[in-house]
Amino acid sequence: MKRLSTDSRVTREFPPDPPYLIGVSAGRDSVALLHWLISLGYERLIVCHLNHRLRGRSSDADAQFVKTLVERYNKDLVGQALRLPSAR
């Protein structure tokens, strides 16, 4: 019952019709949020991913995972990769 209450509250406060930008890092929490919003009927989601390139190949793998996930759900992806200066 609590989930139904939470679902109703979210869709009431944030109607599913307008587009929303959602940040997805490839972590469990943001991927779960994306799945949940899609299950609630949010069709106009725009997924945003920023590859900071701080973890080398792992960061690139996360970016590829998000790209594949977005393609699977047929959503738009706004992605960027950065090279941050070394912290010295």
Q: Domain-by-domain residue ranges, the chain?
A: 26-83
Q: Percentage of the chain with pLDDT > 90? A: 70
Where does 1-88 have alpha helices with state H?
A: 2-13, 28-39, 57-73
Quick one: average pLDDT of 2-27? 88
**Half-sphere exposure in the Cβ direction for 18 (13 Å, CA):** 8
pTM score? 0.83
pLDDT tens digits, 16-44: 999 999 999 999 999 999 999 999 999 99
pLDDT of residue 3: 59
d(CA 87, CA 9): 43
